[in-house]
Chain A
């Protein structure tokens, strides 16, 4: 029950796909977020433009404090945009009322970095999963049907619902919690998934499992995945497109091969050289 790598998984380059012809899913023009005012003003995200297409797996790569999480909160609609505009499926996103927000959140969901703080410790696992069924219009379904759906979602992420029922999330391991998060997404079937460093708090063995499940889920429901990470190596393996973020700005973007094999921006080169390589001396010369 407590092992996370109980299935063999592979994350290989051939899962990449060409999505350049797909319709636009989420895009932004001059999106800016400013915290504070006056002399304490801090521009966390500085006039960024982006275009994410349907079914695309985009990685946003940058170091801590580069504005990745702020951008992700704005994309989720949890944080208002100071300037600029975000477009959802080509039209300006409108989340001015609670009803519209609720509608928007049926289309975009998130997996957060720290599985231990992602769940309300007072809610049972059943409550977490039932919430998702209720949100997607399954409120009036009979309980057997709901249980069936929850069992299916859990088995998708290699968890047994019968063993989880009446348990609290904190009774699980970090990897299991993150898999439960994926089960949640499985039930919600959103158009866009925003994964904010979903594997950074998980040990290396479980990481591959989690990533594999995420990619399977993307194939299953054909959603756009916005993958936020500081690990450019990981981004290279899984992404179709990579955006490199430095000090609140995108310094480079393009297909994964383009950006990582022929980096143009010095910041990208630095990020790449920071990745430790087995069997090779670690080049730290570019570290500031």
Chain B
């Protein structure tokens, strides 16, 4: 080559750029795939609702066998509470219920039946057990939209003063509770 050597080195580096780019993207894909296998990465995770803000203004009417509640009720709280959206027509909600029942003694839970007939929701709770201390019905799904949910079940952890601290758009399981919810509760209780 008649080009000077330093020019050739630059040229060589330039020609290696596509390989480097592909390698970076490839490593990214590998991370994603292995993350998906371990469940630590989900590209379709919908983590839409905004966290660390007060609960939106809303009110849900009574849902048998519990008593409805409003944003004011949540904001008046001094202890953390779990708000769970569920529905009788939702199979993952049914699967989640035993986990909630196991948790109810440690953490008060308030439930909102999402787009459900009151009698169906009541039947569902009679059948699967009722972990909720208060219960509301969001018949037309508008309260769900105010909370920013995209489906059921979705769970929110409300800190003292009615601040949304944590959110899960997937059914709760023991692993999630142990790895994310429990440490968060600890830190909330300390502060």
Q: Do A and B originate from a single complex?
A: no
Where the two chains meet, the residues of A that have a C-beta atom closer than 8 Å to any C-beta of B are none
